[in-house]
Amino acid sequence: MSVTAAQGFVASGVTAGIRPSGKPDVAVVRSLPRAVGAALWTTNRVEAAPVTVSKRHLAVAEPQAVLINAGVANAATGDQGEADAVASAEALAQELGLETEEILVLSTGVIGVRLPVDKVLAGGRAAAAQLSPDGGAAAASAILTTDSGPKVAVVASGGFTVGGMAKGAGMIHPRLATMLVVITTDYPLAAGEAGVFLRPAVAQTFNRISVDGDCSTNDAVVLLANGASAAARDDAVFADALGEVCTDLARQIVADGEGATVVLEIGVTGAASGAEAEAIARRIATSPLVKTAAFGHDPNWGRVLAAAGSAPYDDGFARLETGRLTVAFGGVAVFAAGAPTGAVPDSSGTVCRIDLDLGLGDGAAGYLASDLTYDYVRINAEYTT
């Protein structure tokens, strides 16, 4: 049920003819009780029109519904792109009896192509008419592009529920990861509180994944909360549940990376600072040499060392002393105290765990990444042709 698992939420997914494949391509998620919400957006300076418009809406109103289209990103489309995004929100607002500013619009697909606004408007009308508590699965399917299938997660805890859906398989790298995520909850939050919980959850999950090192123009993570569960406030339990949903969805995105066959789990401990640990983990996760070695099931720890030692940080590189460094593949130390151990780990599985202990301090961070395969190149070489 994903985004409709929490009480008071309805959703739908329809085919509007935007995608040439004829697959579903327009989704709507709505809270029936009044909701509060927040969103985090791509930091790419080439900001898609729906991001610009939705930011504007969020600045003046609490979001009550989200309209998503797949197939066209409506990015790099100028003033017309913004006008099309606004028109989409206006039309859905009329259908739902809401204010335009209470609608967030998200788009994903090819950059530089004008939104087929007539199809989006028709899709929005159809989706509005089909909204249902059972519509979560249809919505999760309608937002996909190169994904192999829907990505959903649900956690029930403390008398409330958190549910989410995501799309994303390529152009995945923070901040954020082409990734769209909608999370709903019936936990009671006051105006202004949703972002307080969303920011740290995203920082530890969606901002620590990488498929190809490219940051999208359209990335968004939206949280809607309507309090319909009437659960007693326990913010620590809610934060854990939200983090669990984000973690689950983030891992699904990496595992479904375009052409991916191996998930890289990278852990860095003993760094001089937490920020430097994250910088080193990110550098390893985005190294083409590390990722291609993972594809070949080659425990080439030399590539890991080289990446770790060249992690950009504070106008230089993150601190690292080779003589204190330990590197392990799947729990087997292959490099310790400045020298190879001679051990040869088994790297034949679909998960490759790489741990580094820098021996410098208490800084720690983790990252998830996918391998880099022939299929990734094929998919992206033919993306618009």
Active site residue 217: no
- Kindly state the tokens that stand for 374: 């022939």
Q: At what angle do helices 301-308 and 288-295 cross, to 10 degrees?
A: 160
| φ and ψ at residue 30, rounded to 5 degrees | -140, 145
380 and 213 Cβ atoms separated by less than 8 Å: no
Catalytic: which of 77, 108, 178, 185? 178
CA dist list (Å): 87 to 68, 72, 91, 94, 126:
13, 16, 6, 11, 16
- Kindly state the tokens that stand for 30: 């709505």
Report CA dihedral (70, 75, 78, 82) to the nearest 10 degrees: 50
307 and 284 Cβ atoms separated by less than 8 Å: yes
247 and 255 Cβ atoms separated by less than 8 Å: no
Which class for 320: exposed (0-12), middle (13-18), buried (19 or more C-beta within 10 A)?
buried
- Three-class HEC string of 267-303: EEEEECCHHHHHHHHHHHHCCHHHHHHHHCCCCCHHH
CA dist list (Å): 22 to 148, 227, 302:
16, 37, 47
243, amino acid identity: G
Which class for 345: exposed (0-12), middle (13-18), buried (19 or more C-beta within 10 A)?
middle
Alpha-carbon span 58 to 53, nearest angstrom: 9
Per-residue DSSP letter, 211:
S
How far out from the chain centre does Cα 202 lie?
Answer: 8
| φ and ψ at residue 274, rounded to 5 degrees | -65, -40
- Catalytic machinery residues: 178
